[in-house]
Amino acid sequence: MKQTEIGLIPDDWEMKSLGEVATIVGGGTPSTLNSAYWNGDIQWFTPAELSDSKKYVSKSERTITERGLKESSAKLLPKGTVLLTTRASIGITAILENPASTNQGFQSLIAKNNCCSEFLYYVIPLIKDEMLSRASGSTFAEISAKKLSTITFQLPPLAEQQRIAKALSDVDALISTTEKLIQKKKNIKQGTMQNLLTGKKRLPGFGPQTKSPAYKQTELGLIPEDWDVKNINKECTIKARIGWQGLKSTEYLDSGDYILITGTDFGLSQVLSVKSEPPFQQRSPNS
CATH of the domain at 87: 3.90.220.20
Q: Which of the listed residues 156, 179, 203 is the one where a domain comes to its end?
A: 156
Domains in the chain, number: 2
Q: Say what the pLDDT of residue 51 is.
A: 93
Q: pLDDT of 62-107, one tens digit each?
A: 999 999 999 999 999 999 999 999 998 999 999 999 999 999 999 9
Percent of the chain with pLDDT strictly greater than 70: 83
Q: pLDDT of 4-57, one tens digit each?
A: 988 999 999 999 999 999 999 999 999 999 999 999 999 999 999 999 889 999
> What is the gyration radius of the CA atoms in the chain, in angstroms?
29
Within 10 Å of residue 121's Cβ, how many Cβ atoms? 23
Q: Say what the pLDDT of residue 202 is.
A: 87
- Residue 43 in domain: yes
- C-beta pairs of 159-168 under 8 Å, 24+ apart in sequence: 161/115, 161/116, 161/119, 162/116, 162/118, 162/119, 164/119, 164/122, 165/116, 165/118, 165/119, 165/121, 165/122, 166/118, 168/118, 168/122
CB 64 within 8 A of CB 101: yes
Q: Distance of CA 183 to CAs 41, 105, 114, 174, 230, Å?
A: 35, 32, 40, 14, 33
- Residue 233 in domain: no
Q: Do 246 and 152 share a structural domain?
A: no
Q: Say what the pLDDT of residue 204 is.
A: 86
Going by the DSSP 8-state scheme, the letter that residue 280 receives in this structure is B
- Residue 205 in domain: no
- Residue 99 in domain: yes
Q: Do 249 and 120 share a structural domain?
A: no
Task: Pick the more confident residue, 139 or 30.
Answer: 30
Which of 161, 163, 150, 174 lies closest to 116 in space, CA to CA?
A: 161
Q: Do 259 and 146 share a structural domain?
A: no
Q: pLDDT of 209-242, one tens digit each?
A: 666 778 899 998 999 999 999 998 888 877 666 5
**Where do the H-state alpha helices sit in the chain?**
18-21, 66-70, 117-134, 145-149, 158-197, 232-235
Tell me the average pLDDT across 132-140. Answer: 92
Structural domain boundaries, residue 263:
240-282
Q: Which of the listed residues 123, 156, 189 is the one where a domain comes to its end?
A: 156
- Residue 257 in domain: yes
Tell me the average pLDDT across 196-211. Answer: 82
- What is the arrangement of strands in the sheet containing 101-102, beginning at the earlier edge strand? 62-64, 38-45, 101-102
Q: Do 127 and 30 share a structural domain?
A: yes
Q: Do 266 and 152 share a structural domain?
A: no
Q: pLDDT of 110-130, one tens digit each?
A: 999 999 999 999 999 999 999
Q: Which of the listed residues 121, 156, 191 is the one where a domain comes to its end?
A: 156
Percent of the chain with pLDDT strictly greater than 90: 69
